[in-house]
A and B are shown apart, each in its own frame.
Chain A
Amino acid sequence: MAELLGGFEQAVLVAVLRLGPDAYGRTILHDLQKSLKRTVSAGATYTTLDRLENRGLLRSKLAEGTPIRGGRPRRYYALTAHGVRALNEAHETLSAMWSSIQWPAKIAR
């Protein structure tokens, strides 16, 4: 059965996939704002990242910080095999759902 993923969860997973090895909190936040075309709060992003990691869809590792961060480490995220599978399933499900409708949608009379 397909893993149930919310809209924002999918956006976060896609951002991590797109950013590849550069996916850490700040770049993910930027990518989300660019792709969703709206302001995204740090609270929503980190909470979702945490939840996805707890569900085993993401894994993270700490790496050395830069001087501008005061030496604080960066937490880099990557998709797990389970995460990639869940994203593929979500894409398939959504594609099948959207393809059954003629676009642009019209009001039924």
Chain B
Amino acid sequence: MARKDRTMSNQMGMPPRWAEFVLEHILPEGDRQSVTGDLREEYAETMLPRNGRLKADLWYLRQLLSLSPRAFSGQSSSRAAVLLVSFFTFACGCWLALMECVLRHPHYVARAGMDITIALVPLTTIAVVCLHLSVRAERWLWAGAVGLIAVAVRAFLHDVHSSHFEGFVLLISLTLAVQGIFMLLFLGRAGRRQLRHGTAGSK
């Protein structure tokens, strides 16, 4: 299917399918159709005939990057905050897993596994927030958020009571706790909004 889309987009002088997909998901709902339409028109009528496919694709990619900060602006500040914190926690989890694999301390495989599990929670959050996934996925996020806070509190208490105090553990536990709290707040708000819309729709 993806191959068919790619062939179609090549034949018809359309921008790369994946770039358009990303753009559609980062733009606010009201602008989604008109902005992607404008860019598609410019790509097909000006950039492609004038500069060839490679340069036209690079132009499209540049426009995508210039529009990407709009994912964090938009109507909901809680959405932006959740995305920002999720990206940060995801990067932290990946970095920790990578370091475990490089340093190879005892039980590094189990620790790296746990780091990857931690990184999966914000990744799921990003997917749910950006791709508007179902409530079923959001239920998993509730559990994930509570899990993150539990891991954070445990790491914090362990660090405070240990004889060898480590600053980075404190920093990561605080980050995880903030991520968990943000997720709980966001999910609570999203749930209330959904309930309101559901009630309004049934009237």
Query: Residues on A close to B: CB < 8 A?
Result: 24-26, 29, 41-44, 46-47, 50, 62, 65-66, 68-70, 72-75
Contacts and interface: CB of A to CB of B under 8 A. Distances in A.
A24 B38 contact: yes
Interface string B15-36: 0000000000000000101111
A73 B67 CA distance: 19
Contact of A42 (B14, B67, B73): B67
7 contacts: A25-B38, A42-B38, A42-B66, A42-B67, A68-B40, A69-B38, A73-B34
Contacts of B62: 41
Secondary structure call for the B interface: helix
Given A43-B65, A70-B40, 18 more contacts: A26-B41, A41-B63, A41-B66, A42-B38, A42-B63, A42-B66, A43-B63, A43-B68, A43-B70, A47-B73, A50-B31, A62-B34, A65-B33, A69-B38, A70-B14, A72-B33, A72-B36, A73-B33
Given A42-B66, A43-B70, A26 B42 contact: yes
